[in-house]
Amino acid sequence: MTRQNTAQPAALVVPHGAPPPSPRPLRLGVLASGRGSNFEALVRASRHGALHGDVVGLVVNTPHCKALARAERLGVGATVMNHRHYHSREALDHALVNHFRILQVDVLVMAGWMRIVSPVLCQAYDKRLVNIHPSLLPAFQGLNAMERALAAGVRITGCTAHLVVPEVDAGPILIQAAVPAYPNDTLATLAPRIHAQEHRILPIAVAMAGQHLFEGA
């Protein structure tokens, strides 16, 4: 019974079809707190032509996280902004806005950013701030989504890329991918299945968010 835990083709839902390439390469900023596999997926998609854009900067809030090492390996500029050094959520978000404005970032991606963001960031990147979440929202919003999906005994779960609004995991959905959850799944078997689909849908979601820049152009 090992076959059912290998990666399966997932049902992929693109509401309005994959977007056309943007008129110019999108300048992308990424926020991460941990592993950074979604950050790497975006860098690879942009370098292999799957995403018409360039990842121009990574910010992490946790010194020594794996995402930082990936940035170094991939040659992407990275900055540590430790949230403990800011007196409020808003102060950190103002610093982020300033940082990414200097980099002229078009679309900002929360790729495992374990901080609640304030309206400061949401408004500065209105319709251009994307989050990736490991469940089929609106199910299992918040922390430990995969663990809670397993505990609930769902048979289908997945991941969601959505625009960010101040309410946690609640903004307009851009794209979702569904994966099976098997009765004998554990976090160790389910997580890779979901992560593989996150890496697939996030570049598409970023391109979708980038379209807002050129609306009416």
The β-bridge partners of 32 are 60
Scan residues 131-170 and list those touching ligand GRF (CB under 6 A): 132-134, 159
Closer CB to ligand GRF, residue 53 or residue 158? 158
**34 contributes a contact to ligand GRF by CB under 6 A:** yes
Has 133 been annotated as catalytic? yes
Scan residues 180-209 and list those touching ligand GRF (CB under 6 A): 195, 198
Residue type, 156: I
Q: The tokens 């309206």 sit on which residue?
A: 119
Cα separation, 52 vs 37, in Å, equals: 19
Closer CB to ligand GRF, residue 37 or residue 157? 37
Q: Which of 28, 32, 109, 190 binds ligand GRF (CB under 6 A)?
A: 32
Edge to edge, the sheet with strand 107-110 lists 11-13, 173-180, 156-163, 129-133, 107-110, 26-32, 53-60, 78-80
Kindly state the smallest distance separating residue 200's Cβ from ligand GRF, in Å: 12
- C-beta atoms surrounding 31 within 10 Å: 26
Catalytically annotated residue among 133, 162, 195, 199: 133
Cα separation, 39 vs 202, in Å, equals: 9
Q: Which residue is nearest to ligand GRF (CB)?
A: 112
Q: What are the catalytic residues?
A: 133
Binding site for ligand GRF (CB under 6 A): 32, 34-38, 111-112, 132-134, 159, 195, 198
